[in-house]
Structure 1
Amino acid sequence: MSKQIAGVLPVVLMPYTDSGALDEEDFLSQADHIFESGCQGLVVGQMSELLRLTHDERLRVAELCAKSVQGRGISVMSTGAETAEAAVGYSRHAEAAGVDALLVMHPATLPLGDDEMVEYYGRIVEAVSVPIIVHHAKSLARIPLSIGAQAQLLRQYGEDRVMFKPEAQPTPPRVSQLRDATDGRARIFEGDGGMMLLDCHRRGLAGTIPATETAEIVGVLWRLLEAGDRAAAERIGHPLSYLMCHMMNSTDYYLSIAKRLLKERGIVKNDHIRGPSAHVLDSESWSEASRVYTRLLNLSKELSR
């Protein structure tokens, strides 16, 4: 492993032009914001509307993911697919483009058992040389990937090749179960936008994967937790948990708020969400989210001094 995959790795929210095409300029703008916020890297993940991209767009985004880092940190590209063959193809392309690691979600349309899941992930690990993060997406897994299957992958390939983003609920105890089943070897990333970071961090994490709009907020929270300053961490962690509870009603609800926050701050030019979404953000939801977000930005500045 050439780079240490760890720390705060926000997900880039896919930016679009007025015509609905990928906005490469705003992708790079988000990358700049992430690194200027002190984060260790960036991720293209499911919240990047990955499943709404065309095949050619997915290939191009992998290239942007690698390009956007510019030696400042870690690039992680999501390469999961509905078949191992497709996932291997996306993974090999992303590695060739220069990403540092892969975030690999399981198939979402078939109820795969543990043996089939282990085979799927094993084929991907063996096809590339960069590390993979096994992504268990709670809303998309027909059958949750068991702790035993995840431990088997680690035993087979080692902690430098296989890491984990376990989102099966309830997340905190599953972090502990995976930690214990691997004798503390598993490198685990929290993936609920920082909502459960106060609890999950004490159970043993290699990092956290929020999204661009909370990059500096989660960055400060992570540094406080790493420093052992629990009291200060709770000051920012509790309102962050509330904001994430508010936003995480659905993917499009989250994106409608997060992209507008980025647009209001001038980080992106457009808050377009690719269809078939028909969600319209109501003014009262926006008012509440914006109020809490502004408070969190001010807290992050105060606590980073």
Structure 2
Amino acid sequence: MTHDIKGVLPVVLMPYTEDGARVDEDDFLAQTEHMFDVGCDGFVVGQVSEVLRLTHEERLRVAELSAKAARGRGVSIMSTGAETPNAAVEYSRHAQEAGVDALLVMHPATIPLDDAGMVAYYSKVIEAVDIPVIVHHAKSLAKQPLSIAAQVQLLEEYGEERVLFKPEAQPTPPRVSQLRDATGGRARIFEGDGGMMLLDCHRRGLTGTIPATEIAEIVIALWNLLEQGRRAEAERIGHPLSYLMCHMMNSTDYYLSIAKRFLKERGIVKSTHVRGPSRHVLDDETWTEVHHTYQNLLSLAKEFNR
């Protein structure tokens, strides 16, 4: 199904019960329904899904929920990276057996790996499964960037049907071009900064973009305009979206505190709970500013998605 892994694939924001004791499965499915209803090609369970804060049993269950939610409507992609290759292989095999369409695999976050270590880690996971693997470099968690040469090595070894890329090492746009050029345009690359750099990255040869649930229809409108070559109209969405992301992307918890409040206000989830330990409390003045920007973006999205 590699040909279908493209376009706008938002990340589910993990919904919890009000006390945070368990995943709210109904609200998980409500998010995926919302994404498909507004025209997304599929969805992802990623790092902003608080995947590292899930219990082992919850991670297994979420993979099963993902396969169920996407069946017949689009693609499901499950995050299966871990601190050891053995653990990553276990999560990856389970996700494949559950029926997800692809894997998003992040590198270990606690130990810095050089290129040889990164290639060995990813190779073990890729060889353990049959479905495509998106190699995810998470800039906020990586001890050192995954080099272009290492990514090229993985592509040459396993091919573009098996290996895709979500590079986040900064500055992102020129690194997208470097990966594109180093692979002769073969690398299938996804932008992953909430659409912040989509105006620039799209023209460099993206396969898709991975935002999050709360901006799904906003990014759908932006992506479609860019695909149609309507740059001036795309800027009407892309510029305020970048401003919104400047507010939200100060940290993962900061992002979640805002995004989940957006979703609750819209009736897509019931709780704004962020599983702790969390170090952020959203202040009223920030909320007023981001809410105003968000409402304007939703209005623009409605205009262009007609």
The TM-score, its normalising length taken from structure 2, stands at 0.99
Q: How many Å separate the matches in 2 of 1:254 and 1:67?
A: 27
Q: CA RMSD in A?
A: 0.8
Q: Which residue is 2:251 aligned to?
A: 250
Q: Which residue is 2:288 aligned to?
A: 287
Q: How many Å separate the matches in 2 of 1:154 and 1:258?
A: 34
Q: How many Å separate the matches in 1 of 2:24 and 2:3?
A: 28
Q: Which residue is 1:191 aligned to?
A: 192
State the one-letter code of the partner of 1:47: V
Q: Which residue is 2:11 aligned to?
A: 11
Q: Which residue is 1:140 aligned to?
A: 141
Q: Which residue is 1:158 aligned to?
A: 159
How many Å apart are 1:295 and its aligned residue? 0.1
How many Å apart are 1:2 and its aligned residue? 5.9
* Matched ranges for 1:228-243 at <5 A: 228-243=229-244
Q: Which residue is 2:59 aligned to?
A: 58
Q: Deviations over 1:138-194 (max 9, x none)?
A: 011111100000000000000010000000000000000000000000000000000
| 8 Å CA contact 1:79, 1:103 repeated in 2 | yes
| 8 Å CA contact 2:221, 2:304 repeated in 1 | yes
Q: How many Å separate the matches in 1 of 2:196 and 2:18?
A: 32
* Matched ranges for 1:1-305 at <5 A: 1=1, 4-20=4-20, 21-305=22-306
How many Å apart are 1:304 and its aligned residue? 2.1
State the one-letter code of the partner of 2:283: D
Q: Deviations over 1:232-267 (max 9, x none)?
A: 100100000000011101110100000000000000
State the one-letter code of the partner of 2:162: R
State the one-letter code of the partner of 1:98: G
How many Å apart are 1:18 and its aligned residue? 1.7
Q: How many Å separate the matches in 1 of 2:2 and 2:111?
A: 34
Tell me, which stretches of 5 or more residues in structure 2 are unaligned?
none
How many Å apart are 1:278 and its aligned residue? 3.6
Q: How many Å separate the matches in 2 of 1:29 and 1:304?
A: 21
| 8 Å CA contact 1:111, 1:143 repeated in 2 | yes
| 8 Å CA contact 1:65, 1:77 repeated in 2 | yes
| 8 Å CA contact 2:137, 2:167 repeated in 1 | yes
Runs of 4+ off more than 2 Å = none
Q: How many Å separate the matches in 1 of 2:249 and 2:222?
A: 19
Tell me, which stretches of 5 or more residues in structure 1 are unaligned?
none
State the one-letter code of the partner of 2:4: Q
| Aligned-pair identity (%) | 74
Q: Deviations over 1:191-219 (max 9, x none)?
A: 00000000000000000000000000000
Q: How many Å separate the matches in 2 of 1:245 and 1:2?
A: 32
Q: How many Å separate the matches in 2 of 1:151 and 1:295?
A: 41
Q: How many Å separate the matches in 1 of 2:67 and 2:192?
A: 21
Q: How many Å separate the matches in 2 of 1:107 and 1:68?
A: 28
| 8 Å CA contact 1:15, 1:22 repeated in 2 | yes
How many Å apart are 1:19 and its aligned residue? 2.8
| 8 Å CA contact 1:34, 1:42 repeated in 2 | yes
* SS of corresponding position for 1:33: helix
| 8 Å CA contact 1:3, 1:74 repeated in 2 | no
| 8 Å CA contact 1:100, 1:130 repeated in 2 | yes
Q: How many Å separate the matches in 1 of 2:80 and 2:260?
A: 23
Q: How many Å separate the matches in 2 of 1:267 and 1:99?
A: 23
Q: How many Å separate the matches in 2 of 1:70 and 1:272?
A: 28
| 8 Å CA contact 2:78, 2:100 repeated in 1 | yes
How many Å apart are 1:70 and its aligned residue? 2.7
Q: How many Å separate the matches in 2 of 1:70 and 1:25?
A: 16
Q: How many Å separate the matches in 2 of 1:245 and 1:208?
A: 18
Q: How many Å separate the matches in 1 of 2:112 and 2:279?
A: 28
Q: How many Å separate the matches in 1 of 2:159 and 2:108?
A: 23
State the one-letter code of the partner of 2:28: F
* SS of corresponding position for 1:220: helix
